[in-house]
Amino acid sequence: MRLATAVAEREEPRSDVGALALHAREASEFLKALAHPTRLVILSILCEGERSVTELEQLLALRQPTVSQQLARLREDGLVKARRQGKTMYYSLGSNDARLVVDAVSRVFGSRRSAAVTSPAQIPKSHP
């Protein structure tokens, strides 16, 4: 698996398969949160720094309700954190694990920069 190779430097030796099994559910839930194209692009953008919802709308060329729905899922999963300044909501990465996995995906499947400017029209439609 190419992704496994990309994050190999983070892994500890696999001498205990039982330990891996204990964390499999947690890893599966983490990866499910990343398994939506729009959420993955949002995380890729946030790897470059904090952004407002309005900035994300403009970068993604998506309407505010769509962006907010995806941000809510990412926030629920602890992958992003939010802060309010006046009427504006700002989002940033909520964990270093998210950065490591997005960086690994970027190395395997393409650069963050090209993913961040991908038009939503080019993102295949999928169901949440």
Q: Which residues contact 128 (CB under 8 A, 6 or more apart)?
A: 36, 73
Q: Going residue by residue through the chain, which has 128 residues, state the pLDDT in tens, using 9 for 90 and above.
A: 444 444 555 555 555 777 777 888 888 888 888 889 999 999 999 999 999 999 999 999 999 999 999 999 999 999 999 999 999 999 999 989 889 999 998 888 875 444 444 545 455 454 44
Specify the CATH class of 23-113 in words.
mainly alpha
pLDDT at 26: 84
Q: Which pLDDT score, from 0 to 100, does residue 82 have?
A: 96
Q: How far apart are CA 63 and CA 91, in angstroms?
A: 16
87 in Cβ contact with 51 (< 8 Å):
no
Q: What is the pLDDT of residue 14?
A: 54
- Residue 15 to residues 18, 24, 26, Cα–Cα distance (Å): 9, 15, 19
